[in-house]
Amino acid sequence: MASLGKSRWETLYAFNFAKNAIHQQKTAILCEGYMDVIAYHQCGIDIAVAPLGTSLTEQQLKILQGFCDTILLSFDSDGAGQKATKRAILMCRQFSLTTKIIRLEGGKDPAEIMVKFGAETLTKQVQNAILDSDYLLSKIKAQYPSESPEDKTKAALAFFPYVDSLQSDIQKESSLDQLAGAFNLSPEAVRRDFNNRSQARSRLDSRSIQSDGNQVRPIKLNAELRAVLAVLSNPEEYSIMRRELNSDDFEDPLAKELFIKLEERYKQGNFSYMSVLELCDDNVQQMVTAVTASGEFSKKEKQDEAEFKDMLGRMVRDSINLIKRNALERQRKKLNERLRAFTPTTRDDENYLRTLVSEISQLDKQIQMQKK
């Protein structure tokens, strides 16, 4: 059923069979795997497709965007499936696709529901798909059931990445109103916290967030992390970073880890904020999401697009220069330590000593160039 001659991150299972129906209905069902697609098609629901051999990619959404304006997500009801659903919601909304969730009740996946209850039940669940904002708010309310101000603030901050993903100011306003109604909050207070996300998170001391009751290590925003997170939030800047740096230039472990994952996704052709986070463990995902949701690396309301791009580009370039200079200084320090500890006793030792001095001299010149 899959298209041939394309990379797997560009291919959608059953798309050749489903594209006409998708175009006619302006709707596609995105499934987790090919068995789910088969189940839908057996039920006469011929708009179902699935990523082939990989998680959902931007390239696959670009294909669907040319045929429809609405995506129904049908991922498994287990933990991994729900995590994939949240990721897919943000990706779909970034492509201005109306997104709904098929709530799979009575089974883990569509194939199991079809076998247990038949085509009519599965068809009804498709017809009863709910908007992504309703789905997310129901999950957030279950996670933060308390009426305390702290839980309400955490709930709002958990919803803000979705609002950020919306491409229309009207949609953003409507979603913030929906959030206010769901948690009995003042719409004005919600908007203030959204526009000042970093301050709201700071009030909760969210740089040391919690996961499943366990303390997650705090994230300290040094120059390396700022550069990597800025690029992660704005992937178009990554081509500059990968041209100038390699993983050995990073001293901060988290910045180095994220840079390696950025490069991995870049080489795969599946390069986006969500695809990179997918490679990280839950703690890193939460730490990174907490910082990026603060809006520090996003265009501010009423800020000119060209001004934002220029500011971001300068910040990334300045950070790259600082990272390169620090890496060179670490190399020079190691060579100086080796030089002080070295006592030449043979002619070969003297040659090695001259080589060390020459390398230190070259590093000094490179460091001076970076300071200009």
pLDDT in tens, 209-224: 444 444 445 566 788 8
Record the tokens describing residue 224, joined without a space.
């390396």
Record the tokens describing residue 76, joined without a space.
């498994």
Identify the pLDDT of residue 372: 63
pLDDT at 6 exceeding the cut of 50:
no
Record the tokens describing residue 77, joined without a space.
């009801």
Number of helices (H) and strands (E), helices first, in the chain?
18, 8
DSSP secondary structure string, 58-88?
A: HHHHHHHHTT-SEEEEE--SSHHHHHHHHHH
pLDDT at 59 exceeding the cut of 70:
yes
Identify the pLDDT of residue 53: 64
Identify the pLDDT of residue 219: 60
**pLDDT interval class at 201 (50, 70, 90):** low
Who wins on pLDDT, 200 or 298?
298
The stretch 73-89 carries a mean pLDDT of 87
pLDDT at 25 exceeding the cut of 90:
yes
Q: Which contiguous run of DSSP H or E holds residue 48? A: strand 48-51
Q: Which contiguous run of DSSP H or E holds residue 99? A: strand 98-101
Residue with the two structure tokens 């220029």: 310
**Among the ranges given (2-6, 174-178, 353-357), the one the predictor scored with the smallest mean pLDDT:** 2-6
pTM value?
0.61
pLDDT in tens, 314-350: 888 888 888 988 888 888 888 888 777 777 777 777 7
pLDDT in tens, 127-150: 999 999 999 999 999 988 888 888
The stretch 188-204 carries a mean pLDDT of 74
Identify the pLDDT of residue 121: 93
Identify the pLDDT of residue 172: 93
